[in-house]
Chain A
């Protein structure tokens, strides 16, 4: 009695071949689109890391440049001040203050 197959053809989606093919095609198209979308996201992610490294490198170089320039400006200002103090002392004979002398000798200006 239980050796014969049950007839499930009434619930077989392949019973209507056109509809079945449309279902297969729709599934394939959606799966492909999903996969390609993911591939694009993966590519973006793959590029994101090197791009981030490059940006970080550029930021570092730029920061170093600004720091060096600031230091140069401070040194330049110190040199200018020393020259001015000494010239004034030589021309007027007026003794510079202790603070000015310390700057001339290389101390950081207050």
Chain B
């Protein structure tokens, strides 16, 4: 299937509204990881974030006729992701309390290095605020510019830079420090 990566978001949204499958794929390819990143910022569990990102994109594409200005698709989508993630977290809390789910084995010495680092990184993200998490993930994982982040999160470019600086500093401090328990929620 050919993906028209050069299309603007307005063109893609118009084609999605007409039911063009290639436009669906282009939008999903472009936005699934940003959606995952925002969901991860709320949930801090990669598998949950993947599920929420997929669900949010499906919901967004289903309701795309309600989007007034196509050029705001990105921020509109990320708001849907945030809402879906918050709902998911509420349901997860209820479920986890009911089942008394044990916490993830973050400090298991038998884990491979990459997996241990993954757990430490997810734990370290707990020390960040929600916006810091979104900014650092969108910038360092997704590769967005500060202008793009500022527009999508409705903050200024200066604030985006500030959040990134703070987030990196906190993460490095936590990752360099000896292992300690962090509140998971």
**Docked complex: B1-59 residues within 8 A CB-CB of A:** 16, 19, 21, 24-25, 28-29, 32-33, 36, 40, 46, 50, 54, 57-58
Task: Return 25 A-B CB contacts under 8 Å, by A number.
Answer: A1-B168, A1-B172, A2-B166, A3-B168, A5-B139, A6-B136, A8-B121, A10-B114, A10-B121, A11-B121, A11-B141, A13-B33, A13-B46, A13-B50, A14-B33, A24-B32, A26-B54, A27-B54, A32-B24, A34-B58, A34-B61, A34-B62, A35-B16, A35-B19, A36-B19
Q: Closest chain B residue to A12 by CB distance?
A: B141
Q: Is the interface of B mostly helix, strand, loop or mixed?
A: helix
Q: With A26-B54, A35-B16 given, can you name 19 additional A-B contacts, CB distance below 8 Å? A: A1-B168, A1-B169, A6-B136, A6-B167, A8-B137, A10-B115, A10-B117, A11-B122, A12-B141, A13-B33, A23-B50, A24-B25, A24-B28, A24-B29, A27-B28, A27-B58, A30-B54, A31-B62, A35-B19
A48 at the interface (CB under 8 A from B): no
Give the distance in Å from the alpha carbon of A5 to the alpha carbon of B136 in the complex. Answer: 9
Residues of chain A with a CB closer than 8 A to B21's CB: 28, 32
Does any Cβ of B come within 8 Å of A39's Cβ?
yes
> Is the Cβ of A2 less than 8 Å from the Cβ of B168?
yes
CB distance from A41 to the nearest CB of B (A): 11
List chain A positions with a Cβ less than 8 A from chain B. 1-6, 8, 10-14, 23-24, 26-28, 30-32, 34-36, 38-39
Q: How far is the CA of A10 from the CA of B116 in the complex (A)?
A: 10
Residues of B within 8 A of A31 (CB): 24, 28, 57-58, 61-62
Contact call B57/A39, Cβ cutoff below 8 A: no
Assess whether A35 is in contact with B28, with CB atoms less than 8 Å apart.
no
Q: How large is the interface on B (under 10, 10 to 19, 20 to 34, 35 or more residues)?
A: 35 or more
B32 touches A23 (CB 8 A): yes
Q: Determine whether B171 belongs to the interface, using a CB cutoff of 8 Å to chain A.
A: yes
**Are B122 and A28 in contact, CB atoms less than 8 angstroms apart?**
no
A14 to B143 CA separation, bound complex (whole angstroms):
13
A2 to B175, CA, bound (A): 13
Q: Are B33 and A6 in contact (CB under 8 A)?
A: no
Q: Which of A10, A27, A34, A38 has the most CB of B within 10 A?
A: A27
A28 contacts B137, CB within 8 Å? no
- A3 vs B139: C-alpha distance when bound (angstroms): 12
Cβ B25 vs Cβ A28 within 8 A: yes
In angstroms, Cα B37 to Cα A14, docked, is 12
A35 touches B61 (CB 8 A): yes
Residues of B within 8 A of A4 (CB): 168
Residues of B within 8 A of A38 (CB): 62
